[in-house]
Amino acid sequence: MKKPDVVIVGAGSAGCVTARRCAELGLKTLLLDRKPMEEIGQKVCGDEVSKAHFEATGIDYPEGDEISSVIGGADVYPPNMKNELKIRGWAEFDGWTVNRLSFGQRLLREAISAGAHFIPNVHVGGPMMIGDQVTGIEYKDLMSKDIEIVKSKVVVDASGFAAVIRNKLENPLIEKNIAKEDIALCYREILSLKMPLAEPEVARVFLGGEIAPKGYAWIFPKGVQEINAGVGITGGEGRGSPKSYFKRFKEQYPLLFGAKLIEGKGGAVPVRRPLKSLVGDGIAFVGDSALQVNPIHGGGIGAGMRAGVILGEVVRGAIAMRDISANGLWSYNTRYFPFFGQRLASLEIFRRFLQAVSDDDMNFGFERRLLEAEDLMAANRGDGLSLSTVDKLKRVKRGAGRISLLMKLQKAAGLMKKLSKLYSNYPNSPDKLDSWEKSVLDIIESANFE
């Protein structure tokens, strides 16, 4: 393709959805990935995605061989494995464990059918620049070893955690370094169980410092006798690898005894609020490269798909208005942050709260039901933790003896509300970003629950 309007680096879920939307809107769209075409979609992941993301974007639900399991609930276990929280009957929890490869292949097909041109087997090395303006990319053809340059009006970095373009940009609008404690290192296995699952529509999540320090272990059904199970931990070095935690978990949890390994691999996912700005001059970020991931559970498929649809529309508008600077692309920020972005950001506070709760307090909290399923749902929905006065009194009674835990919960609820408000007033131009960011960082810094 000669002189595309937009080049999208990475054909993961976020890149494919962005490419599809750009092409649908008539843009000359080039999508690149270092993988061969038949491997697009393959990814170390928990493979869970909720229905709500499809409803929000108009993307067709997974069907046929894209579905490994239909999910309708979850059991959340505290460290002592007693008094688990059973989440059932919440529509927003409905979803699927998908076959990542089939699902990814479908998203790619949809992008190509909409008119995007796809080139596999190319390693994108970095951006082409004129001053601060990104004007294209440079890539190496992994088959011929040739180096190519592609010029475009807008570049989209959808390269996932690698963020191959973002990491090469020097611009105060663009964040480069992500703190270790905001990254979850994961290890997951696909396992065939000795016995069928009793509830193949229920996901299981396990909390606690012994199982997964500042993270969690999961068992997600993939059919009646196959599972996707793993461990994600955050906080940087000195704790052992996620693989070693998973090994221990596997030796201790009876369901996994004697399970046959189909595949095991490690991966990483950011678990922070999204980048302060999703755009720069001639450049936009989507998916994991934009840190568009739910900080509580590390789910990023839906968050990236939602952003991709908006981004396609914004790129089209910016090109039509002949303003592809950060200013011209800014409405991606103002359309994402006050809504879905706000939800992700406030969950960073909740993540910080959960990470600071000791195993003992966590066990107590589950026993006394200091957090109910509806609290988790409301927090995830972006409604914060709305502890009403009546509710507070009831919880104070149930939480007698651990007032400090309740106070921390109350503090988290307050900070989540404050941060949400700030995000709903996201600045309408780049020049106001600094003071807004300062207010965000003040709240994040005070989200210390140790």
- Grouping H, G, I as helix, E, B as strand and the rest as coil, residue 304 is helix
Q: Which is nearer to ligand FAD, 185 or 379 (CB)?
A: 185
Amino acid at 276: K
Interacting residues with ligand FAD between 150 and 179 (CB under 6 A): 158-160, 162, 164
CB of 262 vs ligand FAD, minimal distance in Å: 15
Query: How far, in Å, CA of 157 to CA of 315, rounded?
Result: 13
Contact of 159 with 304, CB cutoff 8 Å: no
Contact of 289 with 8, CB cutoff 8 Å: no
Q: Which is nearer to ligand FAD, 292 or 363 (CB)?
A: 292
Amino acid at 126: G
Per rule CB under 6 A, count of chain residues that contact ligand FAD: 41
- Grouping H, G, I as helix, E, B as strand and the rest as coil, residue 232 is strand
- By the rule CB under 6 A, 226 interacts with ligand FAD: no
Tokens of 172: 């105060």
CB of 367 vs ligand FAD, minimal distance in Å: 28
Query: Of the listed pieces 44-52, 174-182, 360-368, 429-437, which binds ligand FAD according to CB under 6 A?
Result: 44-52
Site string for ligand FAD, 51-70 (x = CB under 6 A): --------------------
Query: How far, in Å, CA of 374 to CA of 387, rounded?
Result: 11
Query: How far, in Å, CA of 123 to CA of 89, rounded?
Result: 45
Query: Of the listed pieces 37-45, 60-68, 318-326, 360-368, which binds ligand FAD according to CB under 6 A?
Result: 37-45
- By the rule CB under 6 A, 25 interacts with ligand FAD: no
Member of 5, 24, 47, 281 binding ligand FAD (CB under 6 A): 47
- Grouping H, G, I as helix, E, B as strand and the rest as coil, residue 91 is helix
- By the rule CB under 6 A, 186 interacts with ligand FAD: yes
Interacting residues with ligand FAD between 311 and 350 (CB under 6 A): none
CB of 140 vs ligand FAD, minimal distance in Å: 9
- By the rule CB under 6 A, 387 interacts with ligand FAD: no
- What is the distance in angstroms between the CA of the first residue and the CA of the last residue of the chain? 54
- By the rule CB under 6 A, 230 interacts with ligand FAD: yes
Residue 253 to residues 201, 217, 250, 257: CA-CA distances in angstroms?
19, 11, 6, 7
- Cα–Cα nearest to 373, from 76, 70, 48: 76
For ligand FAD, the binding residues (CB under 6 A) are 9-15, 32-35, 43-49, 122-124, 158-160, 162, 164, 186, 188, 230, 267-269, 287-288, 293, 298-302, 304
